[in-house]
Amino acid sequence: MSPPAEPRATGSPTPASPKMAFGRMQESGLVVVILLLGVLLTVFSGSVQTPVFAPGPDGLPQRVYTTNASGESVPATVEKNKFLNAQNLAQLAKDTSFIAIMAVGMSVVIIAGGIDLSVGAIYALASVLGALTLREFGPGADHILLAPWVGVSIGAFVCIGVATLCGLINGGLIVALRVHPFIITLGAMAILRGIAFVTTKGQSIGGFPPAFRELIRYEVGNGLSLVPLAVMLLVTVLGGIFLSRLAAGRRVYAIGGNELAARFSGIRVERVKLGVYLISGATAGIAALLALGYYGAATSGDGQGYELNVIAAAVVGGASLTGGKGSALGAVLGALVIQMINSGIVILGIDQNYSQIIIGAVVIAAVVLDNLNTWLARRRPAASA
Amino acid sequence: MAFLEFDRITKRFPGALALDGVSFAVERGSCHALIGENGAGKSTLGRILAGVHRADSGEIRLDGRVIHPTSPLAARQLGIAMVHQELAFCPNLTVAENLCLGDLPRRTLGWVDRAALRERARRMLAEIGADIDPDAVIGTLSTGREQLVQIAAAVGSGAQVIVMDEPTSSLSSGETRELFRLIGELKARGITLIYVSHRMEELFALCDHVTVLRDGRFVATEAIAATNQARVVRQMTGRELLVQTPAHLTRALGDEFLRVENLSSPGHFSAVNFAVRAGEVVGLAGLVGAGRSEVAQAILGLDAAATGRVFVRGRELKLGAMDTAMAAGLGLVPEDRKRQGLVLPLNCRENAALAALPLLSRAGWVDRTAERALVGRYAQRLRVRTASLEAPISSLSGGNQQKLALAKWLARDCDVLIVDEPTRGIDVGAKAEIYQLLDELAGEGKALLVISSELPELIGLCRRILVMREGRLAGEVARENFSEHGLLEIMAGVAAA
Ligand SMILES: Nc1ncnc2c1ncn2[C@@H]1O[C@H](COP(=O)(O)OP(=O)(O)OP(=O)(O)O)[C@@H](O)[C@H]1O
Ligand SMILES: [Mg+2]
């Protein structure tokens, strides 16, 4: 009898593990999709004439004029690709950050086998309550007693605190009532947005401390907002560490993969579930805070339909709705795909109303492609063991 | 000419050559045993015949014609059915719906004819002598009963060839007897059976021929009458099997590590009292449904309705929380690896490290190097056959999954370890390895409680055997009085100890 051709037992640590390679492969697949989308948008978007600005004597940007062939003074323009220009990319980065931050939280929930439909509503309620607080310290308020940073901190605390609390309540209800998260968060979605509407009576709330707006709108280069981008990076890194390096993250995967087996491993399933909805709520609060600073106002209608974008981002990023699969980096890349499509719809001049249709189709395509990929991987004979 | 022929069947999975040019023939109307170590390729061969997998090369001939079972449906049309080792039903549908899923009785407009559905299911279940309610939801059945429904489905499909992949691994002894009677009947009807099992006695009692596979290769096909158990084991493993008396039996016992007082759970068991000392291996015998697993789960805090007192190393344990029980030093290898033991989307390493996670992490961070080392050590010790510990656990053969379910709790290093059917689906060679490992654990001063339906296993391993019947401790037998017959009598309530 000749010795077995394949390894029998593998006790030795494998340096490049197949699963990690596979994980990398999946995320690199997303990178390919993103590059492809970028190329397509660049090619098909065409170009625009944009006016040239230069710093004037007072330091503010001013239009540059040139004389044309007939000697008249006309605004100078340059031709730019509609998609591939610094301004558009900066905007894309900013828009992606808001969705991506929430998508990381959503991924955690989906990996645990749950779903959170209320993120958009949590975002709205956190925005509105944060805005009401911040307005008390803004220029319009008649009693500014505290230093601006104190006011901003209180506002930020309220905004993120409210969102986290909403997540905690979601999780608490799901665990205590043993109701499917779809139902609880669907209810929460309506209730929380209703509360936001009632508190604001449908009014827009603005007038925040200028320092707050300046901080979040801090830009470099051609309007690249650094703060949302940095926060997104931070959330991604923290989310990634949580999911792949911490014992708590491992428990999230275990619960999503097989709740009973997780229980039989001594994992406190209820506690972990509570935690994942709390995380999802908190990320909605962080996104809401950034948006407050960026847009300078909030209404109860903010974040309408965000749940679709956020869930789409997580799913496109590889999170499996049956639980047990997904990653933070995937969620962020998924958010970028979704935002590129949103932005492409604007740039290509497609009717805005089509955006929901297209995003819906992309989600389905992503899941189908993922299944196909798994299927292929199973079929494909290994080149070598 | 042979009825069913496998000709140079080869099948490669990512990282594993499951079958390497396997050829053998099966006679019509015979019961043909297929045996080999865990991961030898038995299930893969069955699945190829049943159209679940497709061979990379080679051909299958049925009655002289080359067949191509490209899907389970195609296989069924060719008259081939399979009873799978791992469960294969829709858990949310009823028994009747699952049994008739391929061909639901319909009335006009596609309405399902419920009465006809139930009637047909009842007939299929009656044919195999199974007492199962056709309206029960599959997910609520025990693994053993679900297995019976699978058998009913295969037999009822009118197949000419039936592959049974470890059909008895979760059946009670009564159900097993019923199955053996059925197999005899099927053979008399000229139906050809391919029977996979690790229980050597079964093969010798039931089958006419045996084919041995090893590492995906064909070793031999022999008439059962012309071979014997030792010879088959040698062909499977390439070595002799040493049966040793456990060393722990001669050692002195230590302190009382586990004490259970008046443990009850309404509807499951009542007033259970026993104790296990350090270095002791105690068996827990009983028929399926006697409440053995329920007692184990209640001790670990998995039964919220349980009452009574449990002491670990003299300190009373707060019942109802598994993590506190684990922190006190308790551990449990559950009986059902698919449902209770493993998380299928995770890989081998992550599964095996799940119970030991608190030991492997510092301030919440998992120490990956330590994790790999620990899991690797037990995987090597139990000779887990996998391309890599990073491979998805679902890609492992059933027996290898069971080994990892065991490794998960060995890695946890418990003072008191309860193992529930630890060797289910495990090959003879690896079984001996596991017995030796349990013996070593006892030698290290751990207290072990072994729940098993295989009496020879308990008799070989334990110092004492507790017997449960209908939710109560019906007796206790010391090693010098061990006998299979005596134990069976207590289990069935014929005699009291
Ligand atoms: N879907 C799969 N993907 C990758 N490898 C697989 C897959 N299915 C089986 N294998 C590998 O093929 C080999 C043979 O597996 P198989 O399930 O046929 O073993 P077996 O003889 O039935 O073992 P057991 O006695 O444990 O049930 C194993 O090494 C297993 O890891
Ligand atoms: Mg098998």
The full 3-state SS of A211-256, as one line of letters, equals HHHHHHCCEECCCEEHHHHHHHHHHHHHHHHHHHHEHHHHHHHHHH
Cβ of A265 and B390 within 8 Å?
no
Distance CA A300, CA A193 (A): 7
Instruction: Indicate whether A382 pLDDT > 50.
Output: no
| Residue ranges of chain B assigned to CATH 3.40.50.300 | 4-237, 247-492
Which CATH architecture best describes the domain B4-237?
Answer: 3-Layer(aba) Sandwich (3.40)
Choose which residue among B395, B401, B428 to substitute to test ligand 1 binding: the one with the highest number of ligand atoms within 8 A of its C-beta: B395
Is residue B427 within 8 A of residue B459, CB to CB? The reply is no
Cβ of B14 and A325 within 8 Å?
no
DSSP character string of A107-144:
HHHHHTT---TTHHHHHHHHHHHHHHHHHTTSTT-S--
Name the residue among A257, A377, A378 with its Cβ closest to that of B344: A257
Atom nearest to B401 CA in ligand 1: 26
Name the residue among A9, A18, A264 with its Cβ closest to that of B379: A9
- Alpha carbon nearest to ligand 1 atom 22, residue: B43
What type of residue is B365? Answer: W
Residues 226-285 of chain A whose Cβ lies under 8 A from any Cβ of chain B:
245-248, 250-251, 253-254, 256-258, 260-268
In this structure, chain B runs to a length of 497
Radius of gyration for chain B, computed over Cα atoms and rounded to the nearest angstrom: 23
Instruction: Tell me the pLDDT tens digit for each residue of B344-392.
Output: 999 999 999 999 999 999 999 999 999 999 999 999 989 899 889 999 9
A378 chain-B contacts, CB cut-off 8 A: 14
Distance CA A333, CA A314 (A): 9
CA B153 to chain centre: 20
Instruction: Tell me the pLDDT tens digit for each residue of A304-328.
Output: 989 999 999 999 998 988 899 999 9
Digit-by-digit pLDDT tens for chain B (497 residues) are: 689 999 999 999 988 899 999 999 999 999 999 999 999 999 999 999 999 999 999 999 999 899 999 988 899 889 999 988 876 677 788 888 888 776 677 776 777 777 888 888 888 888 888 888 888 888 888 777 888 888 888 888 888 999 999 988 888 888 888 889 888 988 998 999 999 999 988 999 999 999 999 999 999 999 999 999 889 999 998 877 777 788 888 888 999 999 999 999 999 999 999 999 999 999 999 988 889 999 999 999 999 999 999 999 999 999 999 999 999 999 999 999 988 999 999 999 999 999 999 999 999 999 999 999 999 999 998 989 988 999 999 889 999 999 999 999 999 999 999 999 999 989 988 898 899 999 999 999 999 999 998 899 999 999 999 999 999 999 999 999 999 999 999 998 876 55
Cβ of A19 and B325 within 8 Å?
no
Is residue A338 within 8 A of residue A362, CB to CB? The reply is yes
Distance CA A311, CA A288 (A): 17
Decide: B429 in ligand 1 pocket, CB within 6 A. no
Decide: B197 in ligand 1 pocket, CB within 6 A. no
Strands ordered across the beta sheet of B416-420: B330-333, B416-420, B447-451, B281-286, B464-469, B472-478
Measured in angstroms, the CA of A16 and the nearest CA of chain B are apart by 10
Q: Tell me, what's the pLDDT at A248? A: 95
More confident residue, A336 or A32: A336
Q: pLDDT class for A116, splitting at 50, 70, 90?
A: very high
Task: Pick the closest to residue B339 from B139, B136, B173, B89 (CA basis).
Answer: B139
Distance CA B406, CA B422 (A): 7
Q: Tell me, what's the pLDDT at B495? A: 64
What is the percent of chain A with per-residue pLDDT over 70, rounded to a whole number? 86
- Alpha carbon nearest to ligand 1 atom 29, residue: B39
Beta strands in chain A (DSSP E): 47-51, 53-55, 61-63, 65-67, 73-75, 77-81, 205-206, 219-220, 224-225, 297-298
How many CB atoms are closer than 10 A to CB B74? 14
Cβ of B341 and A248 within 8 Å?
no
B302 chain-A contacts, CB cut-off 8 A: 263-264
Place of tokens 């603005």: A206
Cβ of A258 and B342 within 8 Å?
yes
B369 chain-A contacts, CB cut-off 8 A: 13
More confident residue, A160 or A344: A160
Distance CA A202, CA B445 (A): 70
Measured in angstroms, the CA of B483 and the nearest CA of chain A are apart by 33
CA of B29 to the centre of ligand 2 (A): 23
Choose which residue among B396, B403, B423, B428 to substitute to test ligand 1 binding: the one with the highest number of ligand atoms within 8 A of its C-beta: B396
Atom nearest to B396 CA in ligand 1: 31
Pick the range with the lowest mean pLDDT from A64-68, A94-98, B125-129, B333-337: A64-68
Atom nearest to B11 CA in ligand 1: 12
Torsion of CA A17, A22, A23, A25, to 10 degrees: 130
Is residue A124 within 8 A of residue A192, CB to CB? The reply is yes
Task: Pick the closest to residue B6 from B166, B21, B219 (CA basis).
Answer: B21
Per the structure block, which two tokens stand in for A261?
């087996």
Phi and psi (nearest 5°) for B187?
-60, -40
CA of B398 to the centre of ligand 1 (A): 7
Place of tokens 């992503």: A366
Question: CA-nearest residue of chain B to A19?
Answer: B390
Largest separation between any pair of C-alpha atoms in chain A: 95
Residue of B217, B343, B381, B417 to mutate when probing chain A, most A C-beta within 10 A: B343
Measured in angstroms, the CA of B251 and the nearest CA of chain A are apart by 31
Query: Given 3-state DSSP classes, what are the helix, strand and coil percentages for chain A, each rounded to the nearest 5?
Result: 65, 10, 30
Decide: B400 in ligand 1 pocket, CB within 6 A. yes
More confident residue, A189 or A219: A189
Is residue B360 within 8 A of residue B374, CB to CB? The reply is yes
How many CB atoms are closer than 10 A to CB A260? 17
Place of tokens 């903010």: A302
Q: Tell me, what's the pLDDT at A144? A: 62
Which residues neighbour B465 within 8 Å (Cβ) at sequence distance 6 or greater?
Answer: B282, B283, B284, B285, B458, B459, B476, B477, B482, B487
A238 chain-B contacts, CB cut-off 8 A: none
Measured in angstroms, the CA of A297 and the nearest CA of chain B are apart by 39
Per the structure block, which two tokens stand in for B431?
């079984």
State the ipTM, two decimals.
0.87
CB pairs under 8 A between A and B: 150
Q: Which stretch of DSSP H or E encloses residue B286? A: strand B281-286
Q: Tell me, what's the pLDDT at A138? A: 81
How many CB atoms are closer than 10 A to CB A43? 11
Name the residue among B16, B346, B390 with its Cβ closest to that of A6: B16
How many CB atoms are closer than 10 A to CB B264? 18
Measured in angstroms, the CA of A271 and the nearest CA of chain B are apart by 12
Q: Calculate the alpha carbon distances from B322 to A176, B309, B349, B376, B416 in Å.
A: 19, 15, 22, 26, 14
Radius of gyration for chain A, computed over Cα atoms and rounded to the nearest angstrom: 24
Q: pLDDT class for A288, splitting at 50, 70, 90?
A: very high
Distance CA A339, CA A336 (A): 5
Distance CA A338, CA A308 (A): 10
For Cα atoms B191, B195, B197, give the angle at the middle one, nearest 5 degrees.
160
Q: CATH number for the B247-492 domain, one of 3.40.50.300, 3.30.2270.10, 3.20.20.140, 3.30.950.10?
A: 3.40.50.300
Residues 381-410 of chain B whose Cβ lies under 8 A from any Cβ of chain A:
383-392, 408
Atom nearest to B45 CA in ligand 1: 18
Distance CA A328, CA A279 (A): 13
Decide: B385 in ligand 1 pocket, CB within 6 A. yes
Specify which residues B10 forms β-bridges with. B57
How many CB atoms are closer than 10 A to CB A36? 10
Instruction: Indicate whether A3 pLDDT > 50.
Output: no
Question: CA-nearest residue of chain A to B332?
Answer: A264
Is residue A212 within 8 A of residue A308, CB to CB? The reply is no
Residues 362-381 of chain B whose Cβ lies under 8 A from any Cβ of chain A:
364-366, 369, 372-373, 376-377, 379-380
Ligand found nearest the CA of B35: 1
Place of tokens 């499917």: A180
Task: Pick the closest to residue B30 from B159, B227, B223, B231 (CA basis).
Answer: B223
Say if B143 is an interface residue toward chain A (CB within 8 Å): no
Decide: B41 in ligand 1 pocket, CB within 6 A. yes
Q: Is the pTM of this model over 0.80?
A: yes
Distance CA A186, CA A41 (A): 35
For Cα atoms B94, B98, B103, give the angle at the middle one, nearest 5 degrees.
130
Decide: B85 in ligand 1 pocket, CB within 6 A. yes
Cβ of A245 and B376 within 8 Å?
no
Decide: B94 in ligand 1 pocket, CB within 6 A. no
Measured in angstroms, the CA of B365 and the nearest CA of chain A are apart by 4
Across residues A326-351, what is the average pLDDT? 90
Residue of A8, A10, A245, A371 to mutate when probing chain B, most B C-beta within 10 A: A10
Cβ of A257 and B345 within 8 Å?
yes
CA A313 to chain centre: 7
Cβ of B343 and A10 within 8 Å?
no
DSSP character string of B389-424:
TTSBGGGS-HHHHHHHHHHHHHTTT-SEEEEESTTT
Q: pLDDT class for A343, splitting at 50, 70, 90?
A: confident
Q: Tell me, what's the pLDDT at A59? A: 65
Q: pLDDT class for A80, splitting at 50, 70, 90?
A: confident
Residues 345-374 of chain A whose Cβ lies under 8 A from any Cβ of chain B:
none
What type of residue is A338? Answer: I
Cβ of B215 and A5 within 8 Å?
yes
Phi-psi region of A180 (alpha: psi -120 to 50; beta: other; left: phi over 0): beta
Task: Pick the closest to residue A136 from A206, A215, A214, A213 (CA basis).
Answer: A206
Across residues A58-85, what is the average pLDDT? 77
Atom nearest to B216 CA in ligand 1: 14
Task: Pick the closest to residue B433 from B379, B482, B374 (CA basis).
Answer: B379
Cβ of B14 and A10 within 8 Å?
no
Distance CA A331, CA A311 (A): 9
Q: pLDDT class for A9, splitting at 50, 70, 90?
A: very low
Place of tokens 């009898």: A1
CA atoms within 13 A on the CB side of B319: 21
CA of B41 to the centre of ligand 1 (A): 6
Across residues A76-104, what is the average pLDDT? 88
